[in-house]
Amino acid sequence: MAFLKGEVSRSGFSIRHLKPVKVAVIGVGNVGSATAYGLLLSGLAAEIVLVDLNKKKAEGEAMDLSHAVPFSRQTHIRCGQYADCADASIVIITAGLNQKPGQTRMDLVKSNVAIFQELVPQIAHYAPETILLVATNPVDVLTYTTWKLSGFPIHRVIGSGTTLDTARFRFELGQYYNIDPQSVHADIIGEHGDTELPVWSLASISGMPLKDFCQQSSLKYDNDGMQQCFLATKNAAYDIIQRKGWTDKGIATCLVRIVETILRDEDTLLTVSTVRSYPGVGHTAFSVPSKVTRDGAFQTFELRLDAEEEEQLKKSAESISSVISSLDLP
């Protein structure tokens, strides 16, 4: 079972007191249920609470997941209500309408903002000290919405952002170069959507810039091939949705990784979405590498982008900001 650490004294000795970790998942559709399953297999949480307007669905998912416990990790999984978010270390929000074939993520704005206006204040009321992790699309707009509606400090409202895009990008580059994607260090930043951009100027394999890696490996550096890797990344959701109707496994794995980073206080740099003030744009939410800790997500440095990337990032931030400004938020 998973626990948070704290100090207590027993019989004159200093020992570790372990507090069970609770994680709540709001919305148990495809992404929410896959995330709960990933959490169960990871063993990160001692208790997983599933909350959904369709209570029978949540009950069924809790029952099904509970039957996997004997072959995975000892975890208490149950259906709950918003009040059961109390004392949760992290509340993961996956509730909302899903992207359908032919839709962009931004097409979901009005419907999903309305849903968040109902659920976020309730979560904030019952779990005022939790970290909110948003996965619902359009995730950048909804990360900003969650921050405004919750009243939480910026560092405790985190969107999944471009963590999935970054994973897809590293996978594509790994396939292209026939190398383990974990040896690839390349990020997608900006919007989780059509205005996202690759940071080619800082991309590397085992510490070597891509062009240097190609030279050392007697490979040709092909700009067209690199662009195809990015386009495959950018269009991945559309391609998957066209084939199976939704995406869930990739994003669920990213959410579990973010949860792991928080609970283990890893100080890992992840391309999560957070609210920030961007020069010439004002407050908005988008992704750049941020330090993720037990306390939340923090931008501890500025990326040294080239001029073209700086311009693309500004356009991405402006695109998100223009949607946010059209919303009726407090």
- Read off the pLDDT of residues 149-167 as tens digits, 9 standing for 90 and up: 999 999 999 999 999 999 9
pLDDT category, 12, cuts 50, 70, 90?
A: very low
Cα separation, 109 vs 288, in Å, equals 22
The reported pTM is 0.94
Buried-state track 16-38, b at ≥16 Cβ within 10 A, e below 16:
eeeeebbbbbbbbbbbbbbbbbb
Binding site members for NAD(+): 27-32, 52, 112
Which residue reads 């509730």 in tokens?
A: 95
Binding site members: 27-32, 52, 112
Pick the CATH number of 162-326 from 3.20.20.70, 3.90.110.10, 3.30.470.10, 3.40.50.150: 3.90.110.10
Does the pLDDT value for residue 5 go beyond 70?
Answer: no
* Average pLDDT along the chain: 93
- For residue 10, the model assigns a pLDDT of 41
Name, in order, each residue with C-beta under 8 angstroms of 125's C-beta and a sequence gap of 6 or more. Answer: 82
Tell me the pLDDT tens digit for each residue of 46-82. Answer: 999 999 999 999 999 999 999 999 999 999 999 999 9
192 is catalytic: yes
Domain 22-159 matches domain 162-326 at the CATH topology level: no
Cα separation, 221 vs 213, in Å, equals 9
Task: Give the β-pairing of 131-134 and 157-159.
Answer: parallel
Q: Where are the domains of the chain?
A: 22-159, 162-326
Q: What is the mean pLDDT of residues 91-106?
A: 88
Percent of all residues in the chain with a pLDDT value above 90, rounded to a whole number: 86
pLDDT category, 202, cuts 50, 70, 90?
A: very high
Cα separation, 155 vs 146, in Å, equals 12
22-159: CATH superfamily: NAD(P)-binding Rossmann-like Domain (3.40.50.720)
The β-bridge partners of 205 are: 184, 208
Q: How far is CA 67 from the centre of its chain?
A: 27
Cα separation, 265 vs 284, in Å, equals 26
Residue 190 carries which DSSP code?
A: B
Does the pLDDT value for residue 187 go beyond 50?
Answer: yes
Q: What is the mean pLDDT of residues 211-235?
A: 94
- For residue 16, the model assigns a pLDDT of 45
- For residue 99, the model assigns a pLDDT of 83
Catalytic entry in 17, 67, 155, 192: 192
Tell me the pLDDT tens digit for each residue of 265-324. Answer: 999 999 999 999 888 898 999 999 999 999 999 998 999 999 999 999 999 999 999 999
- For residue 3, the model assigns a pLDDT of 59
